[in-house]
Chains A and B, each alone.
Chain A
């Protein structure tokens, strides 16, 4: 299957700092990338949808000024958590959907990034 990578896999930072997480599709072009957040023992909740070359669409309750998403190329999307606070500590997972497909194409998930804010 298709491969999606995330970097870093784990990050610990101090409260108030910003953290950037990268999501890359390694062997396919992704017009759409999704960012999910997973709290401990919880399900994945969609944060935002990122389409290449356009602004991200955020889910209700997700602050777009706090979670900055950039999808500058067909293989890379970044999520920047600005002025991170302990309540932002979570597991962030991205997924990518192939360019050639439509709405129903399979999404491939990255391995996730564990963010811990002290």
Chain B
């Protein structure tokens, strides 16, 4: 079945870049997503990338997709303390088109 893997923790200093990595298994995934979850809150869609793209940039966020290796990354430039949260990588899977989530990467930003 489909599976999404992420590292669990990342710690960076304010102003540095953060890179969160994700690997997925379903090569037929059409869209891949990054969601942000702050403590006690729901999920906020950050960005997504279509599978025929290698890169997508949206302000401070850059998504890189390596389809051959089934590897997705999210780069946050000039990381701020407000970026501290859990970041989930997700792919569309299942017969209903539901999302399959990774376990989430907890990003801690130190001043």
Give the nearest-CB partner of B6 in chain A.
A43
* Chain B residues positioned under 8 Å from A57 (CB to CB): 96
Size category, A interface: 20 to 34
Contact with A along B68-111 (1 / 0, CB 8 A): 00000000000000000000100010101111011110000000
Known: A1-B45, A110-B42, A111-B42. A43 touches B103 (CB 8 A): yes
Report Cα–Cα, A49/B95, bound state, in Å: 10
* Chain A residues positioned under 8 Å from B98 (CB to CB): 34, 46, 49
Contact between chains at A103 and B97 (CB < 8 Å):
yes
Contact between chains at B104 and A43 (CB < 8 Å):
yes
Looking at A97, A107, A108, which has the most chain B CB atoms within 10 Å of its CB?
A107
* Other-chain residue from B44, B45, B88, B96 in contact with A106 (beta carbon distance below 8 A): B45
Contact with B along A75-118 (1 / 0, CB 8 A): 00000000000000000010101000001101111111010000
Give the nearest-CB partner of A1 in chain B.
B45
Report Cα–Cα, A106/B41, bound state, in Å: 19
B53 CB–A CB distance under 8 Å: no
Give the nearest-CB partner of A112 in chain B.
B42
* Chain B residues positioned under 8 Å from A49 (CB to CB): 94, 96, 98
Contact between chains at B88 and A44 (CB < 8 Å):
yes
Report Cα–Cα, A20/B45, bound state, in Å: 26
Give the nearest-CB partner of A113 in chain B.
B42
Instruction: Kindly provide the distance from the CB of A79 to the nearest chain B CB, expressed in whole angstroms.
Output: 15
4 extra interface residue pairs, beta carbon distance < 8 Å, beyond A46-B98, A97-B97, A112-B40 = A32-B96, A34-B96, A46-B99, A49-B98
Supply 24 A–B pairs (Cβ within 8 Å), ascending by A: A1-B45, A6-B42, A34-B98, A34-B99, A42-B103, A43-B88, A43-B101, A43-B102, A44-B88, A44-B99, A44-B101, A46-B98, A49-B98, A93-B42, A103-B92, A103-B97, A104-B31, A104-B97, A106-B48, A108-B45, A109-B42, A111-B42, A112-B40, A112-B41
